[in-house]
Amino acid sequence: MPLVGVLALQGDFREHGRTLTRLGAEVREVRLPTDLAGLDAIVIPGGESTTIGKLAVRFELLEPLRRLIEGGLPTYGTCAGLIFLSVALTEGDQPLLGVLDVVVQRNAFGRQNESFEASLDIEGLGAPFHGVFIRAPWVSKVGSAVEVLATVDEHPVMVRQHNILGTSFHPELTGDDRIHQMLIDSIPAE
């Protein structure tokens, strides 16, 4: 049974935990550096990216998380998690992990009342995926090692770079566990 951490500083970490539990993973909520020990993978949830970044700095998680992800820990970030993983933003300044070679535009699809749902064709996933976009970002620029797995209106909304997956949307709110399964499937066999 894989041990998957869910960064639990702010945001919808409980929904990710329920999804991972359905898939047979053991889930650990991560709030302190000691919670990172022994993880097989980690999820960085949606929420408010500025708050997540500031709390990660306050609880001294930024550097240990960065080292683990750079060392190959399978990682999945949704919405604010995608922002937090990125190397840069199109505007504003906030703490970032800088491990995913993308530039992200926050709230790119609009404000809360412009949230939407869309059917997505995701490379390698088969049947379309129902994406839930809430104050969602999009990827404005991708580095050479980044694969774009899905787009909306030609804007990347799902990317992969080696051990890191990122989505602008919230699979944890849909009941479709296929993207979380991709994370679990990326855990190296022992």
List pLDDT tens digits, range 108-137. Answer: 776 766 778 889 989 888 899 998 888 888
Decide if 79 is catalytic. Answer: yes
Decide if 162 is catalytic. Answer: no
Q: Which of 15, 172, 180, 190 is catalytic?
A: 172
b or e along 131-141 (b: 16 or more beta carbons within 10 Å of the residue's beta carbon)? bbbbbbbbbbe
* Number of CB atoms found within 10 A of residue 24's CB: 10
Decide if 123 is catalytic. Answer: no
Q: Which of 79, 114, 123, 190 is catalytic?
A: 79
CA distances from 138 to 84, 104, 154, 159, 166 (A): 13, 6, 10, 10, 10
C-alpha–C-alpha distance, residues 112 and 119, integer Å? 19
Is residue 72 scored above 90 in pLDDT?
yes
Q: pLDDT tens digit string along 17-59?
A: 999 999 999 999 999 999 999 999 999 998 888 898 999 999 9
All domains in the chain, ordered by first residue: 3-185 (3.40.50.880)
pLDDT band at 159 (very low <50, low <70, confident <90, very high): very high
Q: Which of 15, 114, 154, 170 is catalytic?
A: 170
Please give the pLDDT value at position 56.
93
**What is the pLDDT of the chain when averaged over all its residues?**
92
Please give the pLDDT value at position 175.
87
Flag whether the pTM goes above 0.85.
yes
Question: Quick one: which of 189, 174, 188, 185 has its CA closest to 15?
Answer: 174
Please give the pLDDT value at position 6.
96
pLDDT band at 106 (very low <50, low <70, confident <90, very high): confident
Residue for token pair 């970032």: 96
Helix, strand, coil percent content, the chain, rounded in steps of 5: 30, 30, 40
pLDDT band at 182 (very low <50, low <70, confident <90, very high): very high
